Amino acid sequence: MEAGDLESMPAGRAVLRSAKCPPVVLETMPWYTGPFAAEVAAAKIRAGQDPTVARNDDDPEPDDTSSLLPRPPKAAVEYPALETAS
């Protein structure tokens, strides 16, 4: 692949290279659409981080029929409130 090929790849794709193996194109999964979204959000809260996610312009389209990823939930996942030290 040339640099231009990499730059023209759609959002949500990555190339994995490993020693003695041919490169493969992967489809990435944002943490907030995966099966462990609630667990990751809870870990972010425990770490004092806000788990709120805003859709980015370059996020993969949920209606992309070529996607092998599970569809994101239609409703927002409910996360416990972020506790702040007072």
Q: Are 38 and 78 in contact (CB under 8 A)?
A: no
Q: Tens of pLDDT along 36-48? A: 888 888 998 999 9
Mean pLDDT across the chain: 75
Strand 13-18 versus strand 21-27 pairing type:
antiparallel
pLDDT at 51: 84
pTM: 0.47
For residue 22, CA distances in Å to 5, 62, 69 come to 16, 29, 23
Q: Tell me the domain boundaries of the chain.
A: 3-46
pLDDT at 32: 78
Adjacent-strand bridge partners of 21:
18
Q: Tens of pLDDT along 55-80? A: 666 666 666 666 666 555 555 556 66
